[in-house]
C-alpha cells in the first residue's frame, strides 16, 4: 500500500491558548528535525492534528523515526482520498485487506469535521461497513473491542482513511521544559535518567568527569557513544568534559578515605552548578536511585546537595535496578553501558565508604583543600563537544 500521509496525534497537549501553540510549534520542529535529513517530506498542522506528507517516501521508515519523537501519543499511516462515498468505501476495503494478520472483526469510525459533507457520519459508517462485510466473508463487526478500526476523517483540507494506530513514545516535545544538565557517567543509570528527562520535554546537555590517565581514552569514547544514543531522541547534545584527576588526587592526599566519595561528589556538584549557570541550564540531573549503592542514601544525597542551590533532579530515585535496566535495553544504551571500561569513581573507590556521611564532617575535611581554586581551575579547563545525531567517527583530540 502506498500511503500518502502519516497522521500524528498528541494526546498530552491538552493545553490551551499560547501554551498550546508553543507545544505544537515545538513538536513540529522536533518532527522536522528527525525526518528532514533523511526524507523529502512536508510537515503540516491543522486544528489539533499534524500530518507528515510522504511524497513517495516509505511510511514504515518514517514511522520508525517518529517512535522516538516525544510528545507524539500515536500515529497512523494514512491514505488521502477523494471524498465521494464510492471511493471512500473501495479504498477503506483495500486498506483492511492488506492488514497482516487479517483482522477477525472491525468497526468503522467516521469523523465529519467538514459539516458541509452531505452524508452524516453514522451513514458513512454503515455504507463502508456493509461494503467490507460483503467483500470479506469471514470478517465480523465488533463495536466494543475490534481488532481493526477503520478511521475515516472527512475534513475541509482532505478526506483521510487509516486502519492502523501505532503508539508513540508519549511525553512532551523536547524543548518545552527548558534545559537540564545531566551528570553522565558510563554506567547504566545516568543515560536512562537523561532519557526520562527528555521525555518530559527537557533539552539536554551533559557533563562528564574523567580522570585521565587513571581512566582511559576508551572510557570517554564510551560516554560520547552513550550521548550519541540519546541524540536520537532529542537532537544534538553538548557534552562538557571536565578534567577531574587533580581534584581526586588532592582529595586522596588530604582527606580521610571513607569520605573520598562524599567529597568527590560535592566537587562534582559545585562544578556542575557553575557549568549549568554558564549554559543556562535550570537544573542538574543524575542517575541516582535511593539505596542502590552506599553513596546513594538520603544522608549522602543531603551531604552533596548542601553545596549547591540549583535543583538536582533524580528521575530514577524510586526505581528498581530491573526497571532501570529494562528502559536502558529499550533505548539501546544497555550494551554500551555494560562495556567494562573504568569510571572515575571506580578508580578511586575506597574500601569502606561512609554510608551516612555527616555534612559537618565533610565540611571540616574540605578545609584542608582550596575548594574554590580547584573548582575554578576545573571549570576553566572544561572542554565542550557537540554530539550530533550523525554516527560518530572514533577520533578524539582531547589528549
Ligand atoms: P551510573 O550507572 O549512572 O554510572 P551508578 O549506579 O554507577 O550510576 P554512582 O557511580 O554512584 O552510581 O553515580 C551516581 C550518579 O552520579 C550517576 O548516575 C551520574 O549521574 C553521576 N556520576 C557518577 N560518575 C560520574 C562521572 N564520571 N561523570 C559524570 N557524572 C557522574
Ligand atoms: Mg557509575
**Residues placed in the known binding site for ATP:** 183-184, 208-209, 265, 287, 296
What are the pLDDT digits (tens) for 301-337?
Answer: 999 999 999 999 999 999 999 999 999 999 999 999 9
pLDDT at 347: 60
pLDDT at 19: 79
Q: Which residue has the least CA distance to atom 9 on ligand 1?
A: 288
Whether 267 lines ligand 1, by a CB cut-off of 6 Å, is no
Distance, CA of 275 to CA of 9 (rounded, Å)? 37
Q: Which residues lie closer than 8 Å to 143 by C-beta, 6 or more apart?
A: 107
CA 240 → CA 44, 185, 302, 335, 359, distances in Å? 36, 12, 25, 23, 28
pLDDT at 214: 83
**Residues placed in the known binding site:** 183-184, 208-209, 265, 287, 296
Whether 189 lines ligand 1, by a CB cut-off of 6 Å, is yes
- The burial class, CB within 10 Å (0-12 / 13-18 / 19+), for 97 is middle
pLDDT at 373: 98
Atom of ligand 1 nearest to the CA of 295: 11
- CA–centroid distance, 333 to ligand 2, in Å, is 14
The structural domains of the chain, ordered by start, are 5-167 (3.30.2130.30), 179-387 (3.40.50.620)
Whether 198 lines ligand 1, by a CB cut-off of 6 Å, is no
Distance, CA of 340 to CA of 346 (rounded, Å)? 11
Spans of the chain, pLDDT less than 70: 12-17, 342-348, 394-399
- CA–centroid distance, 213 to ligand 2, in Å, is 18
Q: Which residue has the least CA distance to atom 18 on ligand 1?
A: 287
What are the pLDDT digits (tens) for 293-308?
Answer: 777 999 999 999 999 9
Whether 191 lines ligand 1, by a CB cut-off of 6 Å, is no
Amino acid at each position: 500500500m502506498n500511503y500518502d500521509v502519516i497522521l500524528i496525534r498528541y494526546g498530552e497537549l491538552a493545553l490551551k491558548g499560547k501554551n498550546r501553540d508553543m507545544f505544537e510549534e515545538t513538536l513540529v520542529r522536533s518532527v522536522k528535525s528527525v525526518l528532514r535529513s533523511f526524507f523529502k517530506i512536508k510537515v503540516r498542522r491543522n486544528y489539533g492534528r499534524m500530518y507528515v506528507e510522504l511524497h513517495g517516501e516509505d511510511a514504515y521508515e518514517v514511522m520508525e523515526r517518529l517512535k522516538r519523537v516525544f510528545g507524539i501519543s500515536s500515529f497512523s499511516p494514512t491514505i488521502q482520498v477523494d471524498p465521494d462515498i464510492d471511493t471512500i468505501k473501495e479504498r477503506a476495503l483495500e486498506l483492511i485487506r492488506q492488514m497482516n494478520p487479517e483482522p477477525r472483526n472491525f468497526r468503522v469510525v467516521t469523523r465529519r469535521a467538514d459539516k458541509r459533507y452531505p452524508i452524516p457520519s453514522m451513514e458513512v459508517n454503515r455504507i463502508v461497513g456493509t461494503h467490507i462485510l460483503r467483500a470479506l466473508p469471514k470478517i465480523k463487526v465488533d463495536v466494543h473491542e475490534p481488532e481493526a478500526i477503520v478511521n475515516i476523517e472527512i475534513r475541509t483540507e482532505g478526506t483521510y482513511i487509516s486502519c492502523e494506530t501505532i503508539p508513540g513514545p508519549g511525553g512532551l516535545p523536547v524543548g518545552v521544559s527548558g534545559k537540564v544538565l545531566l551528570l553522565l557517567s558510563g554506567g547504566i543509570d545516568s543515560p536512562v535518567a537523561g532519557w526520562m528527562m527528555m521525555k518530559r520535554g527537557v533539552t539536554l546537555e551533559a557533563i562528564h568527569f574523567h580522570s585521565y590517565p587513571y581512566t582511559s581514552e576508551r572510557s570517554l569514547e564510551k560516554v560520547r557513544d552513550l550521548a550519541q544514543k540519546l541524540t536520537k531522541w532529542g537532537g544534538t547534545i553538548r557534552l562538557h568534559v571536565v578534567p577531574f584527576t587533580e581534584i581526586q588526587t588532592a582529595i586522596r592526599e588530604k582527606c580521610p578515605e571513607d569520605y573520598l566519595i562524599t567529597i568527590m561528589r560535592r566537587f562534582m556538584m559545585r562544578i556542575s552548578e557553575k557549568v549549568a549557570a554558564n549554559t543556562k541550564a535550570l537544573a542538574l540531573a543524575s542517575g541516582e536511585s535511593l539505596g542502590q549503592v552506599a553513596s546513594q542514601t538520603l544522608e549522602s544525597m543531603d551531604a552533596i546537595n548542601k553545596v549547591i542551590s540549583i535543583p538536582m533532579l533524580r528521575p530514577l530515585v524510586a526505581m528498581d535496578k530491573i526497571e532501570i535496566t529494562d528502559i536502558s535495553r529499550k533505548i539501546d544504551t544497555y550494551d554500551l553501558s555494560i562495556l567494562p571500561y573504568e569510571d572515575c569513581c571506580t578508580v578511586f573507590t575506597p574500601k569502606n565508604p561512609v554510608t551516612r556521611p555527616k555534612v559537618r564532617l565533610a565540611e571540616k575535611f574540605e578545609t584542608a583543600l582550596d575548594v574554590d581554586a580547584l573548582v575554578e581551575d576545573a571549570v576553566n579547563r572544561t572542554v565542550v563537544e557537540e554530539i550530533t545525531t550523525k554516527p560518530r567517527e572514533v577520533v578524539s583530540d582531547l589528549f
